[in-house]
Amino acid sequence: MVRHFLDIHRLDAADLRAILDDARARKQARKGWPRGRVDADAPARDRVLAMIFEKNSTRTRFSFDAAIRQLGGQGIIANASDMQLGRGEPIEDTARVLSRMVDAVMIRANDHEDVERFARVSDVPVINALTNRSHPCQILADLLTIEEHLGTVEGKTIAWVGDGNNVCHSFMHAAPKLGFRLRVACPAEYHPDLRDLEKGGAHVYLTADPREAVQGADVVVTDTWVSMGDQDYEARLAAFEPYTVDEALMAEANDGAVFLHCLPAHRGEEVTDEVIDGPRSLIWDEAENRIHAQKAVLAWCFAG
């Protein structure tokens, strides 16, 4: 069986736990090393990773490229618009061709179904690097960051404030796997997809009130109000106006609560400068942890 990494709800809880633990161990083991040095076990030695981007990216692009190098492998990055994919070549044909040329494929796609279609015919592991529907790699980095600062995420309460978007969906997928509570505050018209909400089950509580959501929270998370591909910019800014994460909202969370944001951030919209640049913000650790988390994902895929 090829090990794809498509969504957290499709992983066994034990595999998810193992990926997070491996990420942490790999990070520890190379403290102080130059960024280009290969990990001692080099689990991707002689392997090639293709990275395909249909949408913009800074963190995902550089972290996956750095990750495959640190694992001893090599990467090839392409924007979909430069590929025949961008001129209408069927995604299945692209998948079959790349299966003959590389050992794994990472895709950032506009339409989630395209990643599923790619994976259905691919002979090599496929990794979801963000779609309109989910962003599982981001959530691994977030969980790693939370556990570094607060200990095990099991039993913790995480508040999501803002858009019920792709990143929120992946958080909901992880909640029952790792046993944390997720309190989601969104305006009614921008609530999460009900299919994803269902996957969170009793671990997810949905409200329209950001103050209610952050009560008892150990972690407060937000994301942009306008994701890549969203068209209704003005309507969104108006609807989300009461959802800015500011000092007053953080004060309603638990003492010592930390703040996360996957970035890129829009200071003055979903979060104030004081919070994102303040002492409770873990955003730079969170961004760095994209490398460590994705190395563990790649190692897990290659071990399959």
Active site residues: 108, 135, 138, 223, 262, 290
Nearer to ligand CP, 103 or 286 (CB): 286
Among 99, 145, 224, 294, binds ligand NVA (CB under 6 A): 224
Among 262, 283, 287, 291, binds ligand NVA (CB under 6 A): 262
Burial class (CB in 10 A: 0-12, 13-18, 19+), 117: middle
* Nearest approach, Cβ of residue 134 and ligand CP (Å): 12
d(CA 52, CA 136): 16
Asked if residue 271 binds ligand NVA (CB under 6 A), the reply is no
Asked if residue 228 binds ligand NVA (CB under 6 A), the reply is yes
Burial class (CB in 10 A: 0-12, 13-18, 19+), 165: buried
* Nearest approach, Cβ of residue 178 and ligand CP (Å): 20
d(CA 172, CA 174): 5
* Nearest approach, Cβ of residue 296 and ligand CP (Å): 17
For 281, the token pair is 């913000």
Q: Which residues lie near ligand CP (CB under 6 A)?
A: 57-60, 130, 138, 262-263
* Residue owning tokens 């692009």: 61
Output phi, psi for 204, to 5 deg. -115, 130
Q: Would you mind telling me the total number of residues written for the chain in this entry?
A: 304
Binding flags for ligand NVA, 110-149, as an x/- string (CB under 6 A): --------------------x-------------------
Helices (H), the chain: 13-29, 59-70, 91-99, 112-121, 136-150, 166-178, 194-200, 210-214, 233-240, 247-250, 273-276, 283-303
Asked if residue 207 binds ligand NVA (CB under 6 A), the reply is no
128 binding partner (options ligand NVA, ligand CP, none; Cβ < 5 to 8 Å by kind)? none
Output the CA–CA distances (angstroms, integers) from residue 136 to 4, 6, 142, in the order listed: 12, 7, 10
> Residue count at the site for ligand NVA (CB under 6 A)?
9
* Nearest approach, Cβ of residue 235 and ligand CP (Å): 23
Nearer to ligand NVA, 157 or 166 (CB): 166
Of residues 164-203, those binding ligand NVA (CB under 6 A) = 165-167
Residue nearest ligand CP, Cβ-based: 60
* Nearest approach, Cβ of residue 28 and ligand CP (Å): 23
Nearer to ligand CP, 138 or 289 (CB): 138
Nearer to ligand NVA, 145 or 224 (CB): 224
Distance of CA 13 to the CA centre of its chain: 17
* Nearest approach, Cβ of residue 121 and ligand CP (Å): 26
Helix (H, G, I), strand (E, B) or coil at 10: helix
Assess contact for 287 and 61: CB atoms under 8 A. Answer: no
Nearer to ligand NVA, 90 or 268 (CB): 268
Positions in the binding site for ligand NVA (CB under 6 A): 130, 165-167, 223-224, 227-228, 262
